[in-house]
Chain A
Amino acid sequence: MRNEPRRRVWVHVRAALILAAIVIGLLDGAPIPPARKAPESLRPLVKDLGTLRGTLMKPFRPIGDLFKLRQTYKLFSSARPEQHRMWIEVRREGRRDWELVYRPIDPAHDLMEGPIEYRRLRGAWNPGNRGTYGGYGPFVEWLAGELFARDPDIRAVRVRHEKLVLRPREGTAESTGSFEHRKVLWRSRWERRARR
């Protein structure tokens, strides 16, 4: 072996780098809860741990930002019985009632199902525990634009979320009769914005 001494050093350097990468990953993904969620007695400790992690991770933050990496994964961390079902409705020219055009798992109302589904996967409209996300407003604007462009008869688009209570034991998702996160977009406003 021509470069045996150098290779031996490299073996150790590489082993150290891999170990460092694992330790940094574990540090990043360590389950340190937000201080507000911790029991009162543990709050100072949790806060200190969070600060310590922030300090230790600081030198690696640029790499994490560049490649957008993190090691915390949540796979359906909670499954509450209170959920939503989005309704997309349109109001046509000369009508005062709202016509349902899309609702998840509703074969009778599945307009633009594919694109809307993909938008959910990309976090556009499914509400979380603390309401809708930042992309909800732009999603509704995009949706309204698509519908107005498809059908000149549509005067307004309304998006809202029906509140449900899931009862899996009975195999039902019961409506509470109320709706949240309601947004309405009118064609006149959309056209004004498009002209700008």
Chain B
Amino acid sequence: MTRQEPAARPAEGPGAARPATRLGRAWRGWAELMDRREAPTALALTRILVAAAVLGDLLQAAYLGVVGAVWAPPPHGTGTGAVWTRELPFMIEWLGPSLQTAWVVWTAAAVSAALVLVGAATRVSAVALVLALAQLGHIAPSGDRGIDYFLRSVLLVLALSGCHARWSVDAWLWRRIGRPMPAEVPAWPRYLLFAQLVWLYFSGGHNKSGSSWWPHGGLDALPSILCDPHFARFECGWVAHVYPLLQLATLATVVFELSSVLLPIITRWQRAPDRAGRIGRISNRLRLRWAWIGSGVAFHLGIAVTMRLGMFPFGCLALYPVLFHPDEISRAGESVRRRVRRRGARAAAAGAAMGILLLLAATGCGGGGAAPAEAPEAAEAPEARAQTHAHEGEHGGHGQGHDHGACGHGQHRFEDAEEWARRFDDPKREAWQKPDEVVALLQLEPGMTAVDLGAGTGYFISRLSRAVGPEGRVVATDIEPDMVRYMKERAAREGLGNVEAVLAPTDDVGVPAGSADRVLIVDVWHHIADREAYAGKLARALRPGGAVLVIDFTLDSERGPPRQHRLAPEKVIAELEAGGLDAEVVPETLPDQYAVRARRR
């Protein structure tokens, strides 16, 4: 299944009635777009990178000893805006045109940038940073660059966004006082920053007035800049050797900048391929979105390597996370974490083996040293462990890959699906799991779409597949790629043509809004960190009349997770209802588990 931008919430969307006019429909579409919510990862990453770029630039000025020289009024520096203007910057009016004032404003900017970086009092800090940077710009107008204007706009949008809901001191503090920040934040700031980046390039493109940027002028703009001793990082000689390539790069730069206006459309086509027309499909086939983003990264890295333009390339690249949907960032993060973990495990195993060899060599006898088998766990980073879960022994094998709420006791990963399948798909499980009864509780009908959330090795998929029939669809999600791989192979092996295995993010259902008739959640609910927010996402994933079935262990059963991680059915009901669902306990005959069914209001 191809993941898409979450559609607007029909029930909560601005205006349930369909407007009659085209303008009315367009407006409703716009309002719905601006009402979307998503995980805050893209915005949080942008906040960190932008603040790091700004802070790095400010600290560089201090390190080089030029704070006074740049921002103090003459004769100390080039702060001509502090003396030669009719309307003085307010900091100059308050504190007077002095070297100390320059330092006060610089300090305010640097402290604010550091606070934005760590996400402490983020909204206030971001506004303070913009004001301080604006004051520096007013004091030394000739020192205020395009990138400064750009980043001030970006920081203002970040100040209005939920960029502090993740990876921030703010989020940590709110979690500590028991009021965690929402799992989803408004998506419009990301859209606006996306548009800002597009405009930066497009404006840069259409302002290229010099003929050297165009074929009729010989396309020698980039070669010329690379020969300009004031901007080039190296002597000019090498330029002659790659002159035709640089001409091509000149043309590519202009095309890249001017084509930036197409990026939102190209992105839309790629994220919603079912809505892409013929041109959209061609664009997707040619991977134009990735080509554009790749060109942008190469363009900025090329600038950073060959030209001396200060923070410009980094300031622009800092905004690139907004070009990605948070799901894409989550998936990339998971992939990187897994690779690091594997590499770390290999390195630790190699280190342990080396240690044993050294010990053997030193003592001249066998024994001692860390067991290589323990090395992977030892090498596992705390953050990586937080992504893992599952209980010892008899969990029941239906993992969604969450930690146990805020407690996090799980220590196993679901990387080796074959190994876990032996446990999850143990025939003995049928006696206590009663899969046929569970599926019957779902009240499936042919043609329905059923989501098996946290499907693990796909214990239920064959039954679900039969229940929805060939006209229906089963979407089996898991956050562990190896599980998804295993389920795909299993579906192919068992000839389940209507089953789709999908890699889902940890904080989202993983299916488009309004697409599911039934969602089955077996032994997974207690793993989810922010269950109330997650329940809201479940509600949005359901079609009208859709239902969720939560199966989890009772507080006193012999099987299941440690007791402190179990949830009473009343709590599950309260959590589901907080997300906008009507929930109730359903009678069943399961020996160790209870069932809660929730329907969309």
A and B pair up: yes
A60 interface residue per 8 A CB criterion = no
Q: In this complex, what residue of A is CB-closest to B90?
A: A66
Is B335 part of the contact surface with A, judged by Cβ < 8 Å?
no
In the assembled complex, how far is the CB of residue A19 from the closest CB belonging to chain B, in whole angstroms? 7
Which B residues lie within 8 Å of A124 (CB)?
70, 78, 142-143
A164 and B156 in contact, given A80-B212, A123-B145 (Cβ under 8 angstroms): no
Chain A residue nearest to B81 (CB atoms) is A134
Q: In the complex, which residues 85-142 of chain B have their Cβ closer than 8 Å to any Cβ of chain A? A: 130-131, 133-134, 137-138, 140-142
Q: Cβ of B30 and Cβ of A142 under 8 Å apart?
A: no
Contact of A76 with B225 at beta-carbon distance under 8 Å, contacts A18-B34, A69-B149, A141-B75 already known? yes
B228 touches A (CB below 8 Å)? yes
B229 within 8 A of A: yes
Which residue from A11, A14, A69, A164 sits with its C-beta under 8 Å from B153? A69
Q: Inside 8 A of B70's CB, which chain A residues have their CB?
A: 118-119, 122, 124
B229 and A79 form a contact (CB under 8 A): no
Alpha-carbon separation in the docked complex, A80 to B221 (Å): 8
A119 surroundings in chain B (CB, below 8 A): 66, 69-70, 78
Please tell me if A86 contacts chain B, counting CB pairs below 8 Å: yes
**Is the CB–CB distance between B199 and A168 below 8 Å?**
no
Pick from A11, A70, A76, A170: contact of B240, CB below 8 A: A170
Residues of chain B within 8 A of A72, CB atoms compared: 203, 207
* Distance from A22 Cβ to chain B, minimum over Cβ atoms (Å): 7
* B227 and A166 form a contact (CB under 8 A): yes
Output the least CB separation between B595 and chain A (Å): 27
Within 8 A of A (CB), among B275-303: none
Closest chain A CB from B187 CB (angstroms): 11
Of all chain A residues, the one with the shortest Cβ separation from B186 is: A14
Q: How far is the CA of A32 from the CA of B492 in the complex (A)?
A: 60
A36 at the A/B interface (Cβ < 8 Å)?
A: no
B224 at the binding interface (Cβ < 8 Å): yes
Asked whether, in the complex, the Cβ of A138 is within 8 Å of the Cβ of B77, the reply is yes
A142 surroundings in chain B (CB, below 8 A):
69, 76-78
Q: How far is the CA of A117 from the CA of B137 in the complex (A)?
A: 18
CA distance A77 to B236 in the complex (A): 21
Known: A124-B78, A134-B141, A168-B226. A15 touches B60 (CB 8 A): no
Q: Write out the residue numbers on chain B whose beta carbons fall within 8 Å of the beta carbon of A50.
A: none
**Complex contacts, B213 vs chain A, CB 8 Å:** 78-79
CA distance A139 to B207 in the complex (A): 29
Pick from A77, A134, A172: contact of B209, CB below 8 A.
A77
In the docked arrangement, what's the CA distance between A191 and B169, Å? 50
How many residue pairs between the two chains, A and B, have CB atoms under 8 Å in the bound complex? Answer: 225
Whole-angstrom distance between the alpha carbons of A87 and B304 in the complex? 24
- State A121–B145 Cα separation when bound (angstroms): 8
Interface of B is mostly: helix
Known: A25-B199, A84-B230. A173 touches B236 (CB 8 A): yes
Which residues between 19 and 47 of chain A lie within 8 Å of chain B, taking CB atoms? 19, 21-22, 25-26, 29, 31
Query: Are B226 and A115 in contact (CB-based, < 8 A)?
Result: no
Which A residue's beta carbon lies closest to that of B157? Answer: A21
Q: Which residue of B lies closest to A104 (CB)?
A: B229
Interface centre among A7, A67, A133 (most CB of B within 10 A): A67
A69 and B223 form a contact (CB under 8 A): no
Given A73-B204, A171-B236, A171-B240, is A79 in contact with B224 using a C-beta cutoff of 8 Å? Answer: yes
Q: Give how many B residues have a beta carbon under 8 Å from the other chain's beta carbons.
A: 86
* A173 in contact with B227 (CB, 8 Å): yes
Chain A residues with CB under 8 A of B225: 76, 79
A71 within 8 A of B: yes
Beta-carbon contacts under 8 Å, A91-129 to B: 103-105, 114-115, 117-124, 126
Q: Are A73 and B200 neighbours in the complex by a CB distance under 8 Å?
A: yes
Instruction: Name the CB-closest residue of B to A164.
Output: B229
The answer for the CA separation of A138 and B97 in the assembled complex, in Å, is 15
Cβ-defined contact, A123 with B143, below 8 A: yes
| Cβ A78 vs Cβ B228 within 8 A | no
Q: Does A54 contact B (CB under 8 A)?
A: no
In the complex, B477 has a CB within 8 A of chain A: no
**A71 CB to nearest B CB, Å:** 6
Contacts of A193 on B, CB cut-off 8 Å? Answer: 75
B residues near A18, Cβ cutoff 8 Å: 34, 188, 192
Distance to closest chain B CB from A13 (angstroms): 10
Q: CB-CB < 8 A to A103: which residues of B?
A: 229
Q: Does B182 reach chain A (CB closer than 8 Å)?
A: no
A115 vs B148: C-alpha distance when bound (angstroms): 19
CA distance A147 to B257 in the complex (A): 42
A12 within 8 A of B: yes
Check A168 against B243 for contact (C-beta < 8 Å).
yes
B422 within 8 Å of A (CB atoms): no
Query: Which of A114, A118, A120, A122 is packed against the most chain B CB atoms within 10 Å?
Result: A122
A residues within 8 A CB of B138?
Answer: 68
- Closest-by-CB residue of A relative to B211 is A78
Cβ contact of B34, chosen from A11, A76, A81, A137, cutoff 8 A: A11
Residues of B within 8 A of A133 (CB): 142
B297 to chain A, nearest CB (A): 16
Contact in complex: B257, A75 (CB < 8 Å): yes
Interface positions of B from 241 to 282, Cβ below 8 Å from A: 241, 243, 246, 257
**B421 interface residue, CB < 8 Å from A?**
no
Which residues of chain B come closer than 8 Å to A73, judged between CB atoms? Answer: 146, 149-150, 199-200, 203-204, 207
A14 touches B188 (CB 8 A): yes
Chain B residues within an 8 Å CB radius of A160: none
Flag if B310 contacts A121 (CB, 8 Å).
Answer: yes
Q: Bound complex: CA of A187 vs CA of B440, how far in Å? A: 95
Q: Which residues of B contact A86 (CB under 8 A)?
A: 230
Shortest CB–CB separation between residue A12 and chain B, in angstroms? 5
B499 → chain A closest CB, angstroms: 35
* CB-nearest residue of chain A to B204: A75
Assembly CA distance A77 to B211 (angstroms): 10
CA distance A85 to B236 in the complex (A): 13
Interface residue ranges, B against A (CB under 8 Å) = 12-15, 27, 30-31, 33-35, 60-61, 64-66, 69-70, 74-78, 80, 84, 130-131, 133-134, 137-138, 140-146, 148-150, 152-153, 156, 188, 192, 195-196, 199-200, 203-204, 206-210, 212-213, 220-230, 232-241, 243, 246, 257, 308-310, 580
- Give 10 closest A-B pairs by Cβ, nearest first: A78-B210, A171-B240, A168-B223, A122-B143, A75-B204, A135-B78, A68-B134, A79-B221, A121-B310, A15-B31
Which A residues contact B (CB, under 8 angstroms)?
1, 4, 7-8, 11-12, 14-15, 18-19, 21-22, 25-26, 29, 31, 66-81, 83-86, 103-105, 114-115, 117-124, 126, 133-135, 137-139, 141-142, 164, 166-173, 193
12 of the cross-chain contacts (CB-CB < 8 Å) are A15-B14, A67-B131, A76-B208, A77-B208, A119-B78, A120-B230, A121-B145, A122-B70, A134-B80, A134-B142, A139-B78, A166-B228
